[in-house]
Structure 1
Amino acid sequence: MDLKLDQQRVLVTGGSSGLGAAIVKAFAKAGARVAINYRSKPDAATQLADSCASGGTRPITVPADISRADDVTRMFATLDETWGGIDILINNAGMDGDHALAWEADIDAWSRVIDTNLKGAFLCAQQALRRMVPQKSGVIVNTTSVHETIAWSGYSAYCASKAGLTMLGRTLAQEAAPHGVRVLSLAPGAIRTDINRNVWEDPQGHADLLRKIPMNRMGEPEDIADMAVVLASHAARYVTGTTVFVDGGMTDYPDFAHGG
């Protein structure tokens, strides 16, 4: 089975670090032309692009705050000028937000999570679909989370945004399928990145986390990146409107392995 994506035009939002960086590397390795979106820290995006150049075409870097419609419009205009359009959108940019019980949450902080994770993903998908629908082809992969289905106390905005993003994706898939465009969600579990370093570097916290994962290990960024390539490829040509969980079984209610 050939997963090569030679010359496919791919935008990865939040692509300069963490899961996004791993996804950029995976698509570049598969032969795609990749655009690395970042909101800040242009040096990180440039260094990542340079590191991928040896595998073929050097990725381009495109700054944008995806929660701002004008930024998103400019970003897609850049893709039009550079590539003449887009084939694959990986809606990866997101944030957890600050821990706060609902009745203690700051509304501005709560709204920022929704604006980035949900509104931002919609703005990018809207622009992508305006290009994909007329060309009768394209794939959008939304990075959600196991918390689209698992509640997480103190992170109501994050859970709401990821659950909302899943239903948004299903609706867009229904709308776009007659036009040859697929829309899916990719839901990571606990993945070893810098954002959760405080957990996996703490022996007690790491042990507690592993009790929630039947496969008894944290995921690696490459576990997500490789699946993103598969879902965007011809191998998944009949898959749309659904969520693929890459979580080591975290959503399989591991506590019930010990009895009901």
Structure 2
Amino acid sequence: AAVEALVAATVDAYGGVDIVVNNAATNPHFGPVLTAEESHWDKTFDVNVKGYLRLIKACVPSMQARGGGKIINMASIAGKTPQPGMGVYCVTKAGVIMLTEVLAAELAPLNVQVNAIAPGFVKTKFSAAIWADEQLNTATLAAIPQQRMAEPEEIAGIALYLASPASSFTTGATILVDGGQAIGSPLYNLK
């Protein structure tokens, strides 16, 4: 009911919905997947996948009435590459990537583009457990060819592109913003 009320208030205030950015996430369990309680799975899926779907379902009728729209889902490198201790989160972010692709195909005839952004490590409160711990931070940065975490503004730039008319022929894409983490760090430097 809260999502429907939010969308109704948005339509009343602005005349409709043109862009949806799904950015909510949670990760209540850190550790091996088999040690996660069922409640951890339920909470993580409810926020990270079902929450996205609820908002999209509520917004698509307005987008359809307005002749199209943009949906941007925040995925993660964790949805493409397993991250130690974050298995439950990884599974949900893989779900976000597939949800993005399925909806891109289903909503394309309505002129609604659906894309995902898959950040690597971004220096936010959400990743503080990593960057605030010297040992974890050093190990993390060693896995990123650019040797640093992203700043939130670097993710925002991709979102601006996906929300703009410049991306009108881009749908079903997952854009990695990870400093090269997915390709891996070189074994040695040729300097």
> TM > 0.5 between the two?
yes
Separation (CA, whole Å) in 2 of partners of 1:196 and 1:251: 18
Instruction: Letter of the 1:112 partner, please give it.
Output: K
Deviations 1:190-249 (A, max 9, x none): 000122223223332221111110111110000001110111111212111110011101
Instruction: Letter of the 2:56 partner, please give it.
Output: A
Q: Which has the higher contact order (CA 8 A, sep 6+)?
A: 2
Please report the TM-score for the alignment, with normalisation by the length of structure 2: 0.93
Residue 122 (structure 1) aligned with residue 53 (structure 2): yes
Q: Which residue of 1 aligns with 2:11?
A: 80
Q: Which residue of 1 aligns with 2:38?
A: 107
Identity of aligned residues (%): 34
Runs of 4+ in 1 over 4 A off after TM superposition: none
The correspondence for 2:134, drawn from 195, 203, 216, is 203
The correspondence for 1:240, drawn from 171, 175, 181, is 171
Residue 174 (structure 1) aligned with residue 102 (structure 2): no
Instruction: Letter of the 1:258 partner, please give it.
Output: L
Q: Cα–Cα, structure 1 residues 100 and 258, in superposed 2: closer, same or farther, change >3 Å? A: closer
Runs of at least 5 residues in structure 2 that lack an aligned partner in the other structure: none
Q: Which residue of 1 aligns with 2:187?
A: 258
Please report the TM-score for the alignment, with normalisation by the length of structure 1: 0.69
Deviations 1:96-122 (A, max 9, x none): 222132332111122100000000000
The 8 Å contact of residues 122 and 152 in structure 2, kept in 1 or not, is answered as yes
Q: Cα–Cα, structure 1 residues 144 and 138, in superposed 2: closer, same or farther, change >3 Å? A: same
The 8 Å contact of residues 103 and 114 in structure 2, kept in 1 or not, is answered as yes
Over the aligned positions, Cα root-mean-square deviation in angstroms equals 1.4
Which aligned pairs between 1:36-185 and structure 2 lie closer than 5 A?
Answer: 70-185=1-116
The correspondence for 2:151, drawn from 212, 217, 220, is 220
Instruction: Letter of the 1:212 partner, please give it.
Output: A
